[in-house]
A and B are shown apart, each in its own frame.
Chain A
């Protein structure tokens, strides 16, 4: 019986991961469909909470979410199986691409396509940056805006280590949660 659950977990996450283009949040609604609506392994509210944890934790959201689902359904062993299911598709696909990459890259047409797609990626990332940036500026709080510009200057012009910036901002976030200043926080 347990084996059946393991197999099902592996196949489900493998399928989901193989279909998740663009990564990140895309996998959440897919998981919701699979594990909440179809298999009834997780309650809807619980899935929302698991999503919050997946987002709050470091690492890829898809990986985090599968760990949580696996852990919830079948403990640590379940988590290991879902991680494997999630990681294998990209591992296999990228490995195959990597082997052809050099020959691929020297091809004139591929080169044209890649140059075009780089401009496309740049557009996609600018779109993401603007959407994410908006959510910071719309809150009309001074602190996040200051943190944004300070981090941008620190990473872009002062070449300060990214990890150091993240750690400092984590501390700022923690202090801000514990002592929400009267002046900054909106009621």
Chain B
């Protein structure tokens, strides 16, 4: 039952993406590329790009995208519900505990303990995306000479601009898109 699979997959993504934003990325990749054959790695890279460009949380954006690809609009709605269900239950429970006891030391301790692991997972997903950008494939090829120079240049400039001037990522993304059109047209 495809609807149930969507619901369950995105329920897990919602439940285990702790720390917000990019924390969901490796989980989404795991569920929709590795566990289920719903997206190719190229499509996954596309949805990360689209999610970055459009408003709203990455997890919700990908839930909608994957849901539509797999089972149309109802799929999108069900995947989104799956994604927010754990939040609804857990956040309200935490809020209750907070108003009751005014302390979340344990929760914060767990969060602190999780942080390095979350960063490690984002790092891993980031490495995959860099390989994707440079070689158009998920896994680093044996022959490294097929590297996409234009992508490397765009990546390097974007990275430099982000580190040095802390500009809004949206502008880097837009700039990278424009640079892509210009550079690939010339070459």
Contact = CB atoms under 8 A, between A and B. Distances in A.
A119 B154 contact: yes
B84 A87 contact: yes
B121 interface: yes
Q: How large is the interface on A (under 10, 10 to 19, 20 to 34, 35 or more residues)?
A: 35 or more
B33 interface: no
A125 B126 contact: yes
Contacts of A79: 88, 92
A59 to B, nearest CB: 3
Given A90-B60, A121-B45, A166-B16, A52 B55 contact: no
Nearest to A118: B133
Contacts of B119: 129, 132-133, 136, 148
Interface string B102-121: 00111111111111111111
Contacts of B152: 119
B57 A162 contact: no
A171 B9 CA distance: 23
Interface in A108-131: 109, 112-130
Contacts of A133: 119, 123
Given A58-B18, A126-B159, A170-B113, A120 B175 contact: yes
B176 to A, nearest CB: 3
Contact of B117 (A86, A130, A165): A165
Contact of B173 (A117, A156, A163): A117
A152 B124 contact: yes
Given A23-B51, A58-B15, A144-B112, 17 more contacts: A25-B20, A58-B90, A59-B17, A68-B95, A83-B84, A87-B60, A90-B60, A90-B64, A94-B68, A117-B176, A120-B154, A121-B129, A149-B120, A166-B118, A169-B113, A177-B110, A177-B113
Query: Nearest 7 A-B pairs (CB), nearest first?
Result: A173-B113, A116-B180, A177-B109, A90-B56, A120-B176, A60-B57, A59-B87
Interface of A: 17-25, 49-50, 52-64, 67-68, 71-72, 76, 79, 83, 86-87, 89-91, 93-95, 97-99, 101, 105, 109, 112-130, 132-133, 135-136, 144-145, 147-152, 155-156, 161-163, 165-166, 169-170, 172-174, 176-178
6 contacts: A24-B21, A63-B84, A97-B65, A119-B133, A122-B133, A155-B26
